[in-house]
A and B are shown apart, each in its own frame.
Chain A
């Protein structure tokens, strides 16, 4: 698989330098969010707000009022848990054009509970005026910068950093889900890093004779319920969602709401964190441990179809495993 190193760093710098109203804000995680080069080369467009996220969010609201479009960089979890009131009052309510760039979504960080944004989608999508995007590969990380900046209002983005696989060759467009395969047995809906897992599972499932319809979502709010329902109606056995997030409030919930509101009866299996916190560990370990990996998806397909596929670990192609402290990561955290 083609791997791209630090796609965000390159994309943000080339975009921001063309748009002087864009400001780069950081809360003491500058190199961890791949904007250290930008800080060094464009100090006039960079604002260090220190370890003080509550102030950073309200400050950004003030910048928005002055007509700027600040991009806030931190780990996703630090952009909403502590400064939730500031997010509501200073950014979301007045529809400031603030771009919240949330790095290390879900279990992509070994930092454990305090660092893992596992309920961010659930929180963000319930906030009126908020747009929620999630990048699933290097191409989407590259294109999310300019695309998020087209929104007349606040945007929260789940960003991947470090070495990111390139899965897609067309840019992320808000509101346009990707139909990655058009099978008719099972509908699989994924976001973010879960899409890579599903792609691996799909190859094995196809060889085992299971026809998978696979949708990749990069726009979580607004959510295209009508299209989901249409796809769900076209498969035989039911729907599986797989997400790097709690199953409550994320795409599992969104799909369930869409099916219920449309009155479409389909079985639904929601894979992701099942009402639990995760803990510190490598991404492959955590995805396996919490049932969010390709093999977990295969087992869910078997439950839905009532047929065993014979697929095991070995059958899943191209499993990529990075050591926690491998060289391709920006740093330990």
Chain B
């Protein structure tokens, strides 16, 4: 698929769309758009080899969970293109980044803007915490730390099948607090799984606040290398750097790109809420109105028109 927009423009549009959604709904995973906009825009627009979406632009309603009685069940993987031998697969490991991922799908032309109107609405597949059937989601990753393991198994299997398509995981740095992440990295290295790579959003934030206050994780790069991964470090908001990091050779090992991000990138006004950034819910109408004006100005877009109360 030839890309019509620049990755820079897509990243900006992701921030703008998530900002508008958050202001309108008086809450959202806004900081994740700040930290991850470039990474997700890069993956969808140039980093991954994805075929055209096989799913409708407007997401179908929820049609039930997987069961023997539900033979028509499909995951959201089709939004990332067909699952064939040559195309890449993408797992969004931190499923609460779903709002940002949905915004990205819209900006790269894989989902209609109406899809985001279904966000967190009962009976739709566009769930707040991305489910397996949500647009762009390929497996259930709602519990943090399982994404890289699943991707390792898929990558091992694809290699055995002779697929040229690779497996990519978008990860979050909080996941390194989970033991399973380390089990997964050591296993991927042990089995020389090198059709597997990840971009980790290192924003140093988690639900309770700054990671250094919640649970110190030390030097992630050194730890990952010690467990057998090839690691590249980059400024998450520097696309030239991301391109170079993603191209790092990693024969016989998985590659993990540590994308060091700022949780308020492009929306400095959010610093007034630091370190409570995991889920932005405005404390008052005054705060909502102020942040609406300030961030809109930063993004260079008109403020969201709020309905009168």
Contacts and interface: CB of A to CB of B under 8 A. Distances in A.
Specify whether A and B are partners: yes
Interface of A: 47-50, 52, 54-55, 57-68, 85-86, 89-90, 93-95, 128-129, 152-153
A89 B66 CA distance: 12
Given A63-B153, A94-B66, 16 more contacts: A48-B190, A50-B183, A50-B190, A52-B183, A54-B179, A55-B149, A55-B180, A58-B146, A59-B149, A60-B153, A61-B153, A62-B154, A62-B156, A90-B139, A90-B146, A153-B68
B49 interface: no
B143 A85 contact: yes
A62 B155 contact: yes
Given A62-B153, A62-B156, A67-B161, A49 B187 contact: yes
B187 A50 contact: yes
Contacts of B68: 95, 129, 152-153
A152 B67 CA distance: 10
A90 B139 CA distance: 8
Contacts of A47: 156, 191
B32 interface: no
B154 A65 contact: yes
Interface centre among B152, B153, B186 (most CB of A within 10 A): B153
Nearest to B75: A94
Contact of B67 (A62, A63, A89, A95): A95
Interface in B129-158: 132, 139-143, 145-146, 149-158
A63 B132 contact: no
Given A52-B186, A54-B180, A85 B157 contact: no
A67 B157 contact: yes
A68 B157 contact: yes
Contact of A129 (B67, B139, B156): B67
B66 A95 contact: yes
Contacts of B151: 62
B65 interface: yes
A128 B68 CA distance: 10
Contact of B187 (A55, A89, A90, A129): A55
Contacts of A86: 146, 149, 180
Contact of A59 (B66, B150, B179): B150
Nearest to A68: B157
Contacts of B179: 54
A86 B183 CA distance: 13
6 contacts: A63-B153, A65-B154, A68-B157, A89-B141, A90-B146, A93-B66
